[in-house]
Amino acid sequence: MTDTYVPQVNGVTTVVRRIAEAIQDGGHQVAVVAPRYPDGNGDPETAVLRIPSIAFPPYPSIRLSLPLRRRTTGFLDEFKPDLVHVHTEGPLGAIGRGYALRRSLPLVTTFHTNFPQYARHYRAGALEGAIWKWLAWFHRPARVTHTPGESVKAELQRRGIPQAVVWGRGVDTHQFHPAKRAPLWRGRLGVADDQVLVLHVGRLAPEKNLGVLIEAWRLARGALGSRAVWAIAGRGPLEQRLTAELPWVRRAGFLERSDLAALYASADLCVLPSQTETCGLVALEAMASGIPVIAADAGGLRESVQHEVSGLLFPADDPHALLVAMARLIVDGPERHAYGSAARARAIARDVAPENEALLRQYRDLVSPPSPVGATACAA
């Protein structure tokens, strides 16, 4: 159950699609309930119920699904699930939560998005306490609650969600690989052989701390001149502001996963100033592609990027510190390449395969708990 899914590209849809494929690869059946999108859905070969949705006015690319509980319940009853995994706290997630509880099915939830922190960026900080109460109520009945970072797990446990465990910070190191480097991408973005391509990837939205990125890139362009080319991949409500304030930045727009993998590998450096990441999958994708990451010293990015090993961390609200970090790796090619190699090694240690196996074991244990020591198994 998820309130965001393909064809949207974000951390949640990446993980949900990955889980669906892992379940199928393990020889099991999976059904997905997700929003319907106006431009098509691009469903994988799974049972998918698409629920009509409307655009969220402040951020039209986010869809709010209609709470069609009866239709969803009928679909799930026909599928006869052994377990329900809810990935979002929106309308579809709430329906899935209620269905699992009514049918006495094992419920797994995932905390992907730090909505209490988001509230600060959307001038709703006064609601932070109320949001935490809602999240605690939502996740508390779950047998297991996944979240991709140690710091977030500790926060969830402190907030009354003791079943929180770390899962979901794996990256596909075959899809994201240095071998995907493509001269075509560098040519399309106008990058000369002696220039460094600095890349930012992500949703162009207030919670991504883009004000710091804008100021640092403006300073860097003045300080570094033609040494670097600056590029952004992504869409979102701050797109017009970025175009107006950084008109010289190359824009790649929204990219499919295969094109995104080629762009990462064709870049030399990835910059991520967000403070709200529970994991920072973008950082892991860039690292798997063999490029170092300069990231805010906050949240999941702090856990993914090893400072002075696979990249650099900077104080999240300090554009000058970001400028210094970028200048260091733009000017020092050998250090940049060494960090890129270490980044690839770090990503390989986070490959998705072991995580997927652990998830299927967890599902099996929840559906059919292991017998107590000394018990005799019986066949019905």
377 pLDDT higher than 50: no
The mean pLDDT of 339-348, rounded to a whole number, is 98
Whether 300 is covered by a domain: the verdict is yes
**Based on the domain organization, do 248 and 262 belong to the same domain?**
yes
The two tokens of residue 359 are 């998830």
Read off the pLDDT of residues 8-21 as tens digits, 9 standing for 90 and up: 888 899 999 999 99
The mean pLDDT of 162-185, rounded to a whole number, is 95
**Based on the domain organization, do 190 and 297 belong to the same domain?**
yes
**Based on the domain organization, do 105 and 189 belong to the same domain?**
no
Lowest mean pLDDT among 14-28, 30-44, 142-156, 187-201: 30-44
280 pLDDT higher than 90: no
* Model pTM score: 0.88
Q: What is the pLDDT of residue 247?
A: 96
Lowest mean pLDDT among 30-39, 118-127, 180-189, 237-246: 118-127
CB neighbour class for 235 (10 Å; exposed up to 12, middle 13-18, buried from 19)? middle
Query: Residue 268 and residue 277: Cα distance in Å, rounded?
Result: 22
Q: What is the pLDDT of residue 11?
A: 84
**Based on the domain organization, do 98 and 191 belong to the same domain?**
no
Residue 376 banded pLDDT, cuts 50, 70, 90: very low
Q: What is the pLDDT of residue 172?
A: 95
Q: What is the pLDDT of residue 25?
A: 95
Q: Phi first, then psi: what are they for 150, rounded to 5°?
A: -65, -40
CB contact set of 32 (below 8 Å; sequence gap of 6+): 1, 2, 5, 16, 20, 46, 47, 48, 49
CB contact set of 194 (below 8 Å; sequence gap of 6+): none
**Based on the domain organization, do 121 and 135 belong to the same domain?**
yes
Residue 358: CB atoms within 10 Å: 13
Can the peptide bond before residue 334 be classed as cis, meaning omega within 30 degrees of 0? no
The number of helices, as runs of H, and strands, as runs of E, in the chain is: 15, 14
The mean pLDDT of 213-235, rounded to a whole number, is 95
Query: Residue 261 and residue 178: Cα distance in Å, rounded?
Result: 9
Alpha carbon 7 to chain centroid, angstroms = 15
375 pLDDT higher than 60: no
User: By the 8 A CB rule, do 32 and 5 touch?
Assistant: yes
Q: What is the pLDDT of residue 119?
A: 57
Task: Determine the residue type at 25.
Answer: D
**Based on the domain organization, do 341 and 196 belong to the same domain?**
yes
Secondary structure class of 125 (helix, strand, coil): helix
Whether 375 is covered by a domain: the verdict is no
Whether 185 is covered by a domain: the verdict is yes
**Based on the domain organization, do 296 and 187 belong to the same domain?**
yes
The mean pLDDT of 121-145, rounded to a whole number, is 87
Query: Residue 83 and residue 57: Cα distance in Å, rounded?
Result: 34
**CATH number, domain with residue 23:** 3.40.50.2000
Q: What is the pLDDT of residue 379?
A: 34
Query: Residue 13 and residue 6: Cα distance in Å, rounded?
Result: 6
Average per-residue pLDDT in the chain? Answer: 91
- Work out the percent of the chain whose per-residue pLDDT is above 70: 92
374 pLDDT higher than 90: no
Q: What is the pLDDT of residue 195?
A: 97
Q: What is the pLDDT of residue 378?
A: 31
The position carrying tokens 């072991």 is 354
What is the extent of the structural domain holding 239? 178-348
Residue 56 banded pLDDT, cuts 50, 70, 90: confident
Top-confidence residue, 279 or 248: 248
Lowest mean pLDDT among 68-77, 78-87, 118-127, 237-246: 118-127
* Count: domains in the chain: 2
- Work out the percent of the chain whose per-residue pLDDT is above 90: 77
Longest CA span, the chain: 75
The DSSP output letter for 238 is T
Task: Determine the residue type at 167.
Answer: W
